[in-house]
Structure 1
């Protein structure tokens, strides 16, 4: 690298000009082991908080009913504050890095601030305040844990180990203890509340361990075992959404990162071709009719009543299109909300989300909230591709891209975007932090070279 390139913090991937800006300030502290422990504890509880000893979990199977959220809140209201208290001393130690990481994700930070602002006009302010507080606590715990590690690989290492353990327990329980690890239908659920949740977690585990081969080569044997176990468990869940999202997100990440190594122009051309193909596919669906396509893919044109639910909810967007009705103020409000008072005869499950993350955010945070978050995800993907193209932390950029694409697909039928209690959001935020962490670490390296 030339002196000129170093002084400006520029890293060339294949000499084709992906730039990683240098960060100002003191040198990055060494990796703090407690940071990895904190991330492991947080992600482990994030995954299991809605599975063990809560309605719908393996010991209280039967499903969560509207208004029953407080049953699951007891442990959550204790564990997350304890994790935050454990994170505070670490956060004080690396407070400068916490601040820089937050500033490296301006759109996500702005989306969180907008969520706080929306409490002021929420239909149920106390409900909205409680949930945005949980989102903030979860965000701080992950942000502080990430700030204590030097490289994205060190962030994903404890996550990979936790996922390996959970997948192992899931598969053993589903195969050898069916009364705990399976639904009445026979679908695998393991330690989780439903097959859809179990499918999403196993798909995310597969993505993490697939791309971990590049940044954790010493775990090659364990990687093969986890991938086989994850695939077996995912197949047992029969979660078609997670299976499809796994293939699309993993394939997209592989293609985009390969294009990124050739330079940003190649990526732009590749994305343009992808948009053209998507448009052609959309036109084909229009010709065949969406109902016929949904029936062919899922056996149900309404997606288990989701399309009817969306049709009911969409008019509410027009009431407050820009600001929404207040962060998470529509669901599980104790039966007093307009959504909960609606009991459609064509649905046989409790309505506690819009089953579409984009519609959910439009309803609760408006166009502004949804736009800020999507801008943050797009910026995170660009950073992740730049990280991969620059050759730093190989595999971590591809993993971040795959997780972000998975989250975008997942939210077509489920609501997880900007939800502090949803596992998929936890992984989405980790991917965004990983991309920002890689950028800051790359900038620090250039700074250290400039001041030996």
Structure 2
């Protein structure tokens, strides 16, 4: 029988090497709710599309022509509607009993709800009002779900939950790759790579890097603790490698650098930390100059053209579309709706008839919810970064570093081509969840100071 814990408000913890919670804290692996919530989290990890459900579309033609190859694209299917009802039903059933406890945290994190509510409001001017409204409501539910995860589970339990989801996703991906190669290998791109349970190899690479993050900060127990940690990370690294996702590799390298700095800078004094951090902009500028000077060699090494596989052409065309509705956009998730609407002009201008992505997080958001939406997402990211700075100190617990690392990955999306607030996406869950948890950690640290 599941053991129910009280809503979490970051109690004062004894400082210990693991920094993950009180000794009496029950393991998430002994709670039935943990295994139930793995299902919707996996659904969000694959953005609502498991690879084995769409094997017929896993080919080069779909990679070129996109939604043009999919009959009745955008109209949905009865099976997918049942899936949505099932997974969101689980979330609603889990969250509803805790709504009273969630409300104070929701109000404290109202900025995280501003963008989803703006998406709901975009129904008024959307190219596809019904579509915008339906998907915006699911994002609101996802946002509440993220707050629920922050309140319902203690830090150690949160890490265990995400480790479990990462383990299932990684092992499941290997199983699909080996047993159903037509689904597990991405044939939509000219560079073939493994996608596992995910709908695209880039999503596989990036999400695998994200699921590795809790393992860097969690203290595995038992005589085989080191083996457990090494095995988990090894499997994830192998999956990232065989995905052949350059984006995933870069995210993984950036995460490793962040983890190294986050762990080791704690040992420095405040002045030393400021000196080290102040050198980062100079190092970034120097790295940028080197990348620019040797861009031809780097692009060749990454098997990319001078246009970054056509991205610069797409960005120019996207900018022209943005200027037609700069403030409000074309409606949440109502721009890439097949070969119709404003997407037709963008596809023709970029020479990519199957284009379904602006290849830039801010451009994508601007197309859908305008500059207002861009300002809101930047405010949310800025809030998360500020809370991370407030939490970072010499005795910062490991779980707080994990929250910070996830905020870091979300900031990386500004440059790595990922998108913000996609329907049914775990990335949005993670952003809201990490932001809320950091707010709780700030309050806990202030309570320690005043105690």
- TM, length-normalised to structure 2: 0.78
SS at 1:412's partner residue? helix
CA distance in 2, matches of 1:177, 1:90: 33
Does residue 312 (structure 1) correspond to residue 286 (structure 2)? The answer is no
Determine which of 377, 397, 400 is the counterpart of 2:381: 377
| Residues 66 and 212 of structure 1, relative CA distance in 2, 3 Å threshold | same
Q: Report how many residues are paired.
A: 416
1:331 aligned residue: 336
1:159 aligned residue: 162
Kept in 2, the 8 Å contact 1:323–1:365? The answer is yes
Determine which of 434, 441, 444 is the counterpart of 2:437: 434
1:17 aligned residue: none
Kept in 2, the 8 Å contact 1:388–1:395? The answer is no
| Residues 289 and 302 of structure 1, relative CA distance in 2, 3 Å threshold | same
How far apart are 1:217 and its partner, in Å?
Answer: 4.3
| Residues 347 and 72 of structure 1, relative CA distance in 2, 3 Å threshold | farther
How far apart are 1:270 and its partner, in Å?
Answer: 4.0
Does residue 233 (structure 1) correspond to residue 239 (structure 2)? The answer is yes
How far apart are 1:197 and its partner, in Å?
Answer: 1.8
Kept in 2, the 8 Å contact 1:260–1:266? The answer is no
Deviations 1:360-395 (A, max 9, x none): 112222233212212212322333454453746x22
1:40 aligned residue: 38
| Residues 269 and 129 of structure 1, relative CA distance in 2, 3 Å threshold | farther
| Residues 269 and 139 of structure 1, relative CA distance in 2, 3 Å threshold | same
Deviations 1:253-294 (A, max 9, x none): 4314543665766655444322222233334445x2866654
Kept in 2, the 8 Å contact 1:118–1:327? The answer is yes
1:280 aligned residue: 286
Kept in 2, the 8 Å contact 1:211–1:396? The answer is yes
Does residue 420 (structure 1) correspond to residue 417 (structure 2)? The answer is no
Kept in 2, the 8 Å contact 1:203–1:246? The answer is yes
CA distance in 2, matches of 1:197, 1:158: 20
Q: Which shifted more, 108-117 or 179-188?
A: 179-188
Does residue 61 (structure 1) correspond to residue 58 (structure 2)? The answer is yes
SS at 1:389's partner residue? coil
Deviations 1:193-245 (A, max 9, x none): 222122122222222322334xx445543221111111111111111111111
CA distance in 2, matches of 1:228, 1:293: 27
Deviations 1:122-180 (A, max 9, x none): 3332232222122112222333243222x222223112112112212322443565444
| Residues 99 and 34 of structure 1, relative CA distance in 2, 3 Å threshold | farther
Determine which of 295, 300, 304 is the counterpart of 1:299: 304
Kept in 1, the 8 Å contact 2:113–2:143? The answer is no
| Residues 336 and 104 of structure 1, relative CA distance in 2, 3 Å threshold | same
Kept in 2, the 8 Å contact 1:135–1:420? The answer is yes
Kept in 2, the 8 Å contact 1:207–1:246? The answer is no
Kept in 1, the 8 Å contact 2:40–2:91? The answer is no
Over aligned residues, Cα RMSD in angstroms?
Answer: 3.6
Map 1:12-411 to 2 at 5 A.
33=31, 36-48=34-46, 49-55=48-54, 57=55, 61-62=58-59, 63=62, 65-66=66-67, 68=70, 69-70=73-74, 74-88=78-92, 90-149=94-153, 151-175=154-178, 178-184=181-187, 187-213=193-219, 216-217=220-221, 220-256=226-262, 258-259=264-265, 268-286=274-292, 288=293, 293-332=298-337, 334-340=338-344, 342-344=346-348, 350-387=354-391, 389=393, 391=395, 394-411=397-414
- TM, length-normalised to structure 1: 0.78
| Residues 10 and 89 of structure 1, relative CA distance in 2, 3 Å threshold | closer
Runs of 4+ off more than 6 Å: none
SS at 1:107's partner residue? helix
| Residues 243 and 139 of structure 1, relative CA distance in 2, 3 Å threshold | same
Deviations 1:32-78 (A, max 9, x none): 946534542221121243124433x5x75334732645476645533
| Residues 369 and 192 of structure 1, relative CA distance in 2, 3 Å threshold | same
CA distance in 2, matches of 1:189, 1:159: 20
1:21 aligned residue: none
1:5 aligned residue: none
Deviations 1:311-367 (A, max 9, x none): 1111223333333333222112x4322214554497667211211111111222223
> Any stretches of 5+ residues in structure 2 without a counterpart?
1-10, 16-26
